[in-house]
């Protein structure tokens, strides 16, 4: 019995509920959500410590034993992702204080941020496939509201598309779960895995695996299913984009990682090769987008697509280096994407536009923000002392071991073009002749830069402390290679 496992979900839920009562008192809302998200960081650190000492923790909710009740399972992977989520939530909250505006704050903004965190943390921690669906919906419902809150024209148009795509993919999720349930007769992921292993994954299970791939691919934006992402992530205000870009697609990727290592790993010839091909196309499409645009938000948005491709490529390799590379890269990318969106948001706010050709010379007036952006940019590309390096190196090692040389080349070339795309922002936005911007004095740049710098510091620590973090990553990777560890921890055999 480990109630600690569920507390990262319960805490934001209670906070979100209490914040509804204080919808008109902005100071109380800010204070409470700040306290709650700092508590969340502490709780998830405790969780990581406990998982490190005792191995995988499973909580049988309501005292009903494993295949019959709902299991909440914290392995190292989930715990690390929960910690990352909480850190990002904390930084985005501080950024929101100075940028979101009282109109949104009075309309339950902070409650919905907390509910989004409930959904994301829950999706990472659950051990039950239908529960995963429910937490997906909690997350998506809050994201619908955060996307449309404010009601500008672009937001309304994009939220229609976003909701349409996600309603369809959620329906497909339910259908896939129904198929899976009618074949194996259980919903607990450990139990499903055991039963699929007993039957040796017949053809119908592979079909279900591909339909799950379509569902999670729609949520996580992999190659033919990413089309909704660039528009939808362009519309909302910056802190909301940072939350979406860092968390939402990664939950889809996590679900692919979980299902393809725990449930559908018997017919890798078909499923994992398909995943590998889609991943490579995802990287290519993302790179084309990132290089092609002159809009700072669009460039970072297409960098999300690249990262999703990189991580799914790591999953498709199914060897130790590939998977630990995917885990490391996921954590790095969540943090650095949030930081980049926050920094790009500062640029857009100062200049009043997100068109790169209409800005320049920002480094003169805002040197700290500029150098923070520079570090974030080279960290994204994977320059050695920073956090993007280790993950990419592991992915490349995995590609060599899995003899996936096309993927190897695509990752290297796309890294170069990723660097080009963010350096384009740096060179054109920060260097050059300073221009006069109308409302630049109204933007509290020094305050807004603090949360972004915080995330960049976390990312630097992640890069410099790779040695210290690696044991955790490899502990997270073990149950992915050997599902028996996970199954035994949940079903207690």
Partner 1 sequence: MKTNDIILQTVAKVASLVIILFSIYIFFGGHYSPGGGFVGGLLASGAIVLLLLAYDLKTVANMLPVDYKLVVAAGLLISSATVSGALFFDAPLMTHAYQYFELPLLGHTSLHTAVLFDLGVYLVVIGITMTIIQTIGESE
Q: How far is CA 342 from the centre of its chain?
A: 15
User: At closest approach, how far in Å is the CB of 64 from partner 1?
Assistant: 9
Question: Which DSSP state fits 5?
Answer: G
Q: Which is nearer to partner 1, 58 or 253 (CB)?
A: 58
CA dist 132 → 30, 173, 217, 243, 426 (Å): 29, 10, 15, 20, 40
- Residue in the structure block whose two tokens are 């501080």: 94
Instruction: For the CB of residue 20, give the shortest distance to partner 1 in the complex, in Å.
Output: 4
CB of 24 to partner 1, least distance (A): 11
Comparison of 65 and 273: residue with beta carbon closer to partner 1: 65
Shortest Å, Cβ 255 to partner 1? 23
How far apart, in Å, do the first and last CA atoms of the chain sit? 16
Which CB sits closer to partner 1, 19 or 456?
A: 19
Nearest CB to partner 1, comparing residues 60 and 387: 60
Tell the smallest beta-carbon distance from residue 65 to partner 1 (Å).
Answer: 11
In the complex, least distance from residue 131 CB atom to partner 1, rounded to whole angstroms: 12
The distance of closest approach from Cβ of residue 104 to partner 1 in the complex, given in angstroms and rounded to an integer, is 16
116-125 burial string, b = 16+ CB within 10 Å, else e?
bbbbbbbbbb
Residue (105 or 267) nearer to partner 1, CB: 105
Minimum CB distance to partner 1 smaller for 15 or for 316: 15
Q: Which residues pair with 128 in a beta bridge?
A: 188
Strand partners, 399: none
Instruction: State which residue, 61 or 440, has the beta carbon closest to partner 1.
Output: 61
Reduce the DSSP state of residue 261 to 3 states and report it. helix
DSSP letters spanning 71-135: EEEE-HHHHHHHHHHHHHHHHHHHHHHHHS-HHHHHTTHHHHHHHHHHHHHHHHHB-BHHHHHHH
Taking the complex as a whole, the smallest distance from the CB of residue 71 to partner 1 amounts, in Å, to 10
For partner 1, the binding residues (CB under 8 A) are: 1, 3, 6, 10, 13-14, 17-18, 20-21, 23, 59-63
Rank residues 14 and 468 by Cβ distance to partner 1 and give the closer one.
Answer: 14
DSSP notation for 158-220:
HHHHHHHHHHHHHHHHHHHHHHHHHHH---BHHHHHHHHHHHT--HHHHHHHHHHHHHHHHHH
Q: Which two tokens stand for residue 179?
A: 């198929």
């Amino acid at each position: 019995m480990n109630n600690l496992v569920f507390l990262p979900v319960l805490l934001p839920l209670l906070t979100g509920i209490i914040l509804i009562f204080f919808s008109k008192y902005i100071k109380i809302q800010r204070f409470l959500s700040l306290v709650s998200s700092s508590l969340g960081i502490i709780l998830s650190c405790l969780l990581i410590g406990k998982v490190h000492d005792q191995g995988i923790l499973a909580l049988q909710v309501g005292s009903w034993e494993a295949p019959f009740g709902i299991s909440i399972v914290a392995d190292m992977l989930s715990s690390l992702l929960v910690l990352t989520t909480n850190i990002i939530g904390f930084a985005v909250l501080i950024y929101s204080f100075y940028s979101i505006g009282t109109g949104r704050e009075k309309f339950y903004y902070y409650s919905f941020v907390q509910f989004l965190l409930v959904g994301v943390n829950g999706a990472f921690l659950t051990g039950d496939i239908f529960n995963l669906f429910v937490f997906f919906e909690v997350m998506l419902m809050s994201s619908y509201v955060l996307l449309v809150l404010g009601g500008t024209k672009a937001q309304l148009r994009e939220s229609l598309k976003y909701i349409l795509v996600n309603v369809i993919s959620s329906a497909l999720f339910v259908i896939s779960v129904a198929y899976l349930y009618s074949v194996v007769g259980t919903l607990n992921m450990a139990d499903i895995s055991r039963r699929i292993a007993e039957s040796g994954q017949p053809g119908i299970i592979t079909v279900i695996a591909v339909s799950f791939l379509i569902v999670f691919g729609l949520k996580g934006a992999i190659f033919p299913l990413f089309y909704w992402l660039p528009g939808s992530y362009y519309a909302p205000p910056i802190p909301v984009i940072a939350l979406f870009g860092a968390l939402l697609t990664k939950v889809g990727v996590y679900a692919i990682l979980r299902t393809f290592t725990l449930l559908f790993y018997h017919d890798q010839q078909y499923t994992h090769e398909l995943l590998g091909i889609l991943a490579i196309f995802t990287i290519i499409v993302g790179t084309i987008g990132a290089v092609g645009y002159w809009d700072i938000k669009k460039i970072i948005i297409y960098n999300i697509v690249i990262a999703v491709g990189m991580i799914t490529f790591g999953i498709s390799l199914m060897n130790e280096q590939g998977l630990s590379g995917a885990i490391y890269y996921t954590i790095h990318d969540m943090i650095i994407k949030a930081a980049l969106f926050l920094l790009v948001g500062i640029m857009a706010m100062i200049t009043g536009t997100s068109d790169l050709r209409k800005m320049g010379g920002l480094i003169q007036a805002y040197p700290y923000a500029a150098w923070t952006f520079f570090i974030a940019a080279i960290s994204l590309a994977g320059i050695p002392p920073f956090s993007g390096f280790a993950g990419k190196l592991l992915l490349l090692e995995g590609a060599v071991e899995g003899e996936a040389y096309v993927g190897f080349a695509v990752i290297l070339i796309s890294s170069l073009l990723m660097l080009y795309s963010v350096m384009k922002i740096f060179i054109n936005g920060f260097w050059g002749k300073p221009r006069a911007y109308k409302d630049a004095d109204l933007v509290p740049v020094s305050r807004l830069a603090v949360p972004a710098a915080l995330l960049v510091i976390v990312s630097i620590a992640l890069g410099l402390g790779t040695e210290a973090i690696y044991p955790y990553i490899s502990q997270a990777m073990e149950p992915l290679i050997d599902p028996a560890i996970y199954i035994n921890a949940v079903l207690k055999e």
